[in-house]
Amino acid sequence: MTNEIGKAGWPVSSPEDAGFDQLSLERAVQFAIANESKMDRDIGAALREGHFEEPWPIGQTIGPVKSREGPNGVILRGGRIVTTWGDVDRVDMTFSISKSYLALCAGIAVDDGLIPDINDPVRLLVDDGGFESEQNRDITWAQLLQLTSEWEGTLWDKPDWIDHNRNVIGDGNGAEKGVQRTMRPPGSHWEYNDVRVNRLALALLRVFKQPLPEVLKHRIMDPIGASDTWEWHGYDNSWIDVDGKRMQSVSGGAHWGGGLWINTLDHARVGQLMMNNGTWNGNRILSEDWVKACRNPCGMNNQYGYLWWLNTDAAMFPGASATSFFGLGVGTNLIWVDPALDLVAVVRWIEKDAVSEFMGLVMKALYSD
């Protein structure tokens, strides 16, 4: 806890007042620091050296990248900061947590009536050639949000098959990533596929007719008191014309560069917004129905909702409770929200295999006598 955090408008609490054993909580923090991600701090080098197992030139970075520093994080309980570590004001790439922010933008579109029915085909609102084929014409917004769309095509020079057979939670079928497979009907297959997430980002841009960073800033980040240091990037070639205006379609990750770059405290505000079921200081930012929809398990993968990861049956991270849900990105970057415990934690640059144990240590600190 620092004076600067207090000045930024965050209420603070001692670990004891928040229900933690201080020494046990310090052990959890030291564990996170000691288990720094093995990902090269030079992220451009990590991507060039095949972090996503893609040969060049097809895996070539087409968006900006930024080197990272060391681990950092924050833990909140009851909306109050209990502890921080590292540089929580540093703006870093956040990789696939960007997807969860796309879900927030989609929620605004639904709440505003721009998307009348999340189960409607996207082509009813988006007429740009991306949803005309036999494979794509019946794809719904819900399927794009749940990663079950099976959208087929090339976007920003990346074909959808670049992420075929991608194994992120032990869900692979044994086939090599990037080996083209037979397409299935929309809604019948779950696959973590960044090309399709980027297709959702473009579709949302078409609906809003406004860059998504502007939507996010004015409708979510400013109302919750976020800083003005975050950035949301697309690719060098993801610029389009909308009603005579040049706009960039953002990336739903940093697979090929770009994505959301943000500091830890701003992530924590978004986590707290989700904890609050879409309200901030009594003001409604997102509908409660939408927040609940984000946490509703997908029929093809009960560990996934609308671009937010779930901990159904505590299967994904056994160290956390089953009520938890997450924004999760390579690195590992993590927003951990547990409504049952009124707990929000943001953890940056921790090794993926250490995440569950870190959560277990936090839980143990909370339950210590």
- Among candidate residues 132, 162, 168, 161, the one with its CA nearest the CA of residue 304: 168
Q: What is the 3-state secondary structure (H, E, C) of 114-145?
A: CCCCCCCEHHHCCCCCCCCCCCCCCCEHHHHH
- Percent over 90 (pLDDT), the chain: 88
Helix pair 264-275, 97-111: axis angle to 10 deg: 50
Please state, as a whole number, how many other Cβ atoms lie within 10 Å of the Cβ of residue 318. 14
Question: What's residue 3's pLDDT?
Answer: 45
Instruction: Indicate the domain borders of the chain.
Output: 91-338
Q: What is the pLDDT of residues 322-351, one digit of tens each?
A: 999 999 999 999 999 999 999 999 999 999
Please state, as a whole number, how many other Cβ atoms lie within 10 Å of the Cβ of residue 257. 22
pLDDT confidence band for 56 (50 / 70 / 90): confident
Please state the rounded mean pLDDT for residues 356-365.
97
Mean pLDDT of the chain: 94
Query: CA 204 → CA 115, 119, 237, 239, 253, distances in Å?
Result: 9, 15, 18, 14, 15
Q: What is the pLDDT of residues 261-299, one digit of tens each?
A: 999 999 999 999 999 999 999 999 999 999 999 999 999
**Tally of residues, the chain:** 369
pTM: 0.96
Q: How far out from the chain centre does Cα 109 lie?
A: 18
Query: How buried is 86 (Cβ within 10 angstroms: 0-12 exposed, 13-18 middle, 19+ buried)?
Result: buried
Question: What's residue 176's pLDDT?
Answer: 81
The residues pairing with 301 across neighbouring beta strands, listed in sequence order, are: 298
Please tell me the CATH superfamily of domain 91-338, with its number.
DD-peptidase/beta-lactamase superfamily (3.40.710.10)
Question: What's residue 166's pLDDT?
Answer: 85
Residue written as token pair 């951990």: 336
What is the Cα–Cα distance from 168 to 176, expressed in whole angstroms? 13
Question: What's residue 173's pLDDT?
Answer: 56
Question: What's residue 170's pLDDT?
Answer: 57
Question: What's residue 21's pLDDT?
Answer: 96
